[in-house]
Amino acid sequence: MRIFALQLNNDVKGIEARKEYIESLIASLPSPDLVVLPELAICSYMASQKIWEYADNCGRSTAAWTIQIAQKYNTYVGVGYLDKEKGDYFNRYMIVGTGGVCGTVTKSEGESAVFKRGSFGSLIETPFGKVAVAICYDSRRKHFYENIKEKQISLILFPHGAPADPAKAD
């Protein structure tokens, strides 16, 4: 299986601009089976409430775009995004293939006053096996390892975001 992990330029802002940027990177990859994008790839990592303006509605837009990309490049894509559901904001990660969304996980230890925290699942079932996903700080939490300790895991992902240059005003 050919897996490509992409780190993104966090200075690229705006959902459509980021989608175009991400697709340009995926288009340059030689026959990927799985493309792994970082935490909050679709909106760019921002650890403040300013990120809320980039929220998806229950993952609909992210799923539609990512399915389109998976089909176009005949690959699976793991993607981080900001989701709004029932008035709360969640830091989420989904894996998508040509047939649709395989599954989604939610970061349990979200940045305080930005993302809803909780005790969420850690596994996504895919045709290539169970994928355990711990978004950023969740990879350091006992909760994640308790969730997966009795499972047959094919792959473990630790998608992390990287903040923009703090010296830049934007």
Q: pLDDT tens for residues 71-115?
A: 999 999 999 999 999 999 999 999 999 999 999 999 999 888 999
DSSP state of 68: H
In a domain, 165, yes or no: no
In a domain, 167, yes or no: no
In a domain, 40, yes or no: yes
Type of residue numbered 12: V
**What pLDDT sits at residue 11?**
82
Number of folded domains that form the chain: 1
In a domain, 26, yes or no: yes
Phi, psi at 104, each rounded to 5°: -140, 145
Mean pLDDT across the chain: 93
**What pLDDT sits at residue 47?**
82
In a domain, 170, yes or no: no
- Position 169 pLDDT exceeds 70: no
What's the CATH code of the domain at 140? 3.60.110.10
In a domain, 47, yes or no: yes
**What pLDDT sits at residue 166?**
59
Average pLDDT of span 11-29: 94
Closest CA to 138 of 121, 155, 162, 125: 121
Token pair of 14, please? 């705006």
Instruction: Tell how strand 100-106 and strand 123-126 pair up.
Output: unpaired
In a domain, 163, yes or no: no
In a domain, 164, yes or no: no
Closest CA to 22 of 38, 3, 34: 38
> How crowded is residue 162: how many other Cβ atoms within 10 Å of its Cβ?
14
CB 161 within 8 A of CB 45: yes
Provide the residue range defining the domain that includes 116. 3-157
pTM, entire model: 0.93
